[in-house]
Structure 1
Amino acid sequence: MFYFLKKYKLIFIIVIAIILGNMFSKDIVTIFVEKELNFQLSHLLKDRNRAILNEDKASLKSYYDLNTTYGKWAYYHEIKKMKYLHNWSEKQGVTFTEINSDVDVKWIKGKYNGFMANLAVSTEYIYKYNIGSEKANSFRIGTYHSIYIKETDEGFVIAKEWYKDPFADSLNMEEVKSDEIRKYIESQKERDLEKISDRRKKAIEYADKYCGAAGVENRSYNKKYRNFNPLGGDCANFASQILHEGGKFKKTSSWNYSKGNGSRSWLNAQGFKEYMLYSGRASLVAYGDYNKVYKAAYKLLPGDFVAYEKKGKITHISVISGADSKGYSLVNCHNTDRYRVPWDLGWSNKGIKFYLVHVHF
């Protein structure tokens, strides 16, 4: 399992650090320790991804400290996440072939018999359709983790973990008519999106460049704009940026951003959806639960958007950024950060309703 962790215990790392501390500067010692712990974190996430991919509950269980309440919570949530991913793949008619995570450690510090860390994790999911297409498709999801890793006789385990789960709003798919939907998706073909307008293309270039932790090359937001995640969410702010900076939509008195703040229609998911529809800058393609709108989603083009409604309120906005090998629409967004992710992944249960919106470029 954790071959590196079993071989190099935390106490060994600390002893080596002390020895180096007598020979070199504290900065060198810090770099040494951080690199070792970073390596351990990467291996832990790699092994956990493998367990999720293979639905290996026994292996997944061994990565958690189940003697603590927080450890149990973290484990049970990953079990739900595992179940959701495989339910979604069954509905979609796909098989996940790889799950790979890139770890960016923001800070790390020692704690009693372990260490705390704050991470930005970019996880790539690779999948293929089971019928009609051999092409591999991939998407990325960026998450920000606060994690406590504890040392045991068997190696390091997760004693506590918090992150905003991109699947948290859709861990129950019992009401989705998987067989009917899967057959329809399998009957579709790849779409040619090369003929979209230049403004749409520029909008998606911006969406890809600034999609945050999920990004392929750049993994930061556009520093020209304030990050509103700490204040409740940045999804509408990012969608507005995509349309203004990339798509060249001009600001108005009601849809505006200036000096670190924006109007309700710029920053708020409900306000953004209402403004775009009522101003005439966009029009409604379809509205309803997943079973009602999934066929209409094939009409969406890069630069259009999806508004997600929960309990009568719009809680999220994502922008169409492409389509996969079966023409299934993909989205980019903030909070959580997504890059070319299937538009319903994390949202496709009966309690969620969708506004599919065509933007008039």
Structure 2
Amino acid sequence: MRRIAWIIVLSLMLGPFQANAEPSSETEEIRNFLTELYRARSEFLIRDMPIDTFYFEKVPTSQQALFLEKKRKAYFQAWANKRGIIVHGTEGTLKIFRIRPTDSLVKVSLVHRMKVTYSYAQGSETPIAFGLGTRHVLTLKKENGKLRVLKEWYLDPLDIDSDDAWLHQPSFASEPETDNLKSDTMSKSPQKKRYNREKAVAYANKYAGSAWGAGNDNRYNPKYRDYTGIGGDCTNFVSQVIGDPAEGGGLPMTNAWRYSAGNGSRAWVSTDALKSFLLYSGYGKVIASGTFDQIMRNPSASDIRSKLQPGDLIAYMYNNDVDHFAVVVGKDEQGLPLINCHTTDRYHVPFDLGWENYTHFVLIHIAN
């Protein structure tokens, strides 16, 4: 999958986020700088305000970090405009795990949690919110008594070229693939046990990780291995949501799809393998598959939306390859799905945010 190598590289740089950095007089200035940096960047995402002063003007790595912030802003604002969304505000909080000053350089590891409050221009004026969680590694440098960002890496859910996003493309007139096209591939579920949607959604909300809004002190479930550093944790999380016997949806594990002895089977942790298992076991059934416009802006869209329920899944595909999985936790006032997921942690996020025009969304209904 196209993002795995990048996830692995970043995870190696990030390392395990465990212990908080100890406060000291030496780090107080650094903490204040970081707080102001991320406050300004959160506001910059939705408003015109300068952030250039946090970066070095003639240092390529610093300018690259600044460029990426401008790129994500362009994408986010264009996405919101196309969706008819008014963003009312952004609020961020930091959890700093490591501060290592060395001479004029400072290396930092942290998590940034951001709350985004929004409403629809043509709809209720009551705002709702979603949350993002991102892990960062930064190198800061002090020059002429002022700290600036020398370089930065993080897994950004908004790292999309706005020119490649669906929002700049014309609507497709073609119909999506629907469940009628997929019904001949289904078989009966191997074991009969009712899927508990309410518990599945509660699990997804509790263990949504570093995203704003998540429970469990923003931690993953310690019962399960975190696969973020070895290809991504999105599928492992979705399997937990639908299959955890104590807190999740409680679908019975099988020989092919299981978690035991500290590891998940291939179908438990691999995107394509999970999709195949769900469809051929009868645990899941495809409601529709296609681009955003094909499944959400066509004459059958209302029927598709009514079939998709909280506790169902969405697979994100490029060139017939499943790149990501997320769990549906609700719908907004227009009936569009809201999702939670891992790796780039999301909580109640509009399902298409951060995905390009050519992404195919596979809506999978989990059988009751």
- TM-score band by shorter chain is 0.7 to 0.9
Larger Rg belongs to: 1
TM-score by length of 1: 0.82
Q: Is the 8 A contact 2:55 2:66 kept in 1?
A: yes
Structure 1: state its 5+ residue gaps: 1-27, 182-196
Kindly provide the amino acid, as one letter, of the partner of residue 203 in structure 1: A
Once the two structures are superposed, residues 153-190 of structure 1 have per-residue CA deviations (whole angstroms, 9 ceiling, x without a partner) of 48432110100111235643465467979xxxxxxxxx
Q: Which runs of 4+ in 1 moved over 6 A?
A: 177-181
- Tell me the equivalent position of 2:365: 358
What corresponds to 2:39 in structure 1?
46
2:199 maps to 202
Task: State the partner residue of 2:136.
Answer: 145
Does the C-alpha gap of structure 1 residues 335 and 328 become closer, same or farther in structure 2, counting only changes over 3 Å? same
Q: 1:337 aligns with which of 332, 342, 345?
A: 345
1:308 aligns with 2:309: no
Aligned to 1:318: 326
Per-residue CA distance 1:319-344 (angstroms, 9 max, x = gap): 00112233321000001111110000
TM-score scaled by structure 2?
0.80
Please name the residue that 2:81 is paired with: 90
Deviates more, 1:164-173 or 1:45-54: 164-173
Query: 2:106 and 2:153 mapped to 1: Cα distance?
Result: 15
CA offsets, 1:217-261, max 9 Å, x none? 421111100000111011010000000121111101111111111
Paired residue secondary structure (1:124): strand
How has the CA–CA distance of structure 1 residues 215 and 94 changed in structure 2, closer, same or farther, with 3 Å as cutoff? closer
> Aligned-pair RMSD on alpha carbons?
2.3
Give secondary structure in 2 for the equivalent of 1:50.
Answer: helix
Within-5 A mapping of 1:260-275: 260-275=262-277
Decide whether aligned partners of structure 1 residues 176 and 52 sit closer, same or farther in structure 2, where only a CA change above 3 A counts. Answer: closer
CA distance in 1, matches of 2:128, 2:275: 29
Contact 1:87 1:173 (C-alpha < 8 Å) held by counterparts: no
The residue aligned with 2:26 is: 33
CA contact (8 A) 1:306 1:354 kept: yes
* Worse-matched range after superposition: 293-302 or 87-96: 293-302
Question: Which whole-Å CA distance do the structure 2 matches of 1:269 and 1:354 have between them?
Answer: 13
Q: Which residue pairs with 1:160 in the alignment?
A: 151
Runs of at least 5 residues in structure 2 that lack an aligned partner in the other structure: 1-20, 173-193
CA shift for structure 1 position 62: 2.5
Partner of 1:290: 292
Q: Determine which structure has the larger helix proportion and give its number.
A: 1
Higher relative contact order (CA 8 A, sep 6+): 2
Q: Aligned pairs, how many?
A: 316
Offset from partner CA, 1:114-154 (integer Å, 9 cap, x none): 42100011111111211221011111111100012223448
| Pairwise CA distance, 1:100 | 1.3
Amino acid of the structure 2 residue aligned with 1:282: G
Structure 2 distance, partners of 1:163, 1:177, is 26
CA deviation map 1:4-40 (0-9, x unaligned): xxxxxxxxxxxxxxxxxxxxxxxx9953433442232
Give 1:290 shift.
1.7
Distance 1:272 1:141 in 2: 25
Distance in 2 of aligned mates of 1:170 and 1:302: 30
1:199 alignment partner AA: N
Distance in 2 (alpha carbons) for counterparts of 1:92 and 1:173: 16
Q: Is the alpha carbon distance of 1:170 and 1:323 closer, same or farther for their aligned partners in structure 2, counting shifts above 3 Å?
A: farther
Q: What is the 5 A alignment of 1:101-112?
A: 101-112=92-103
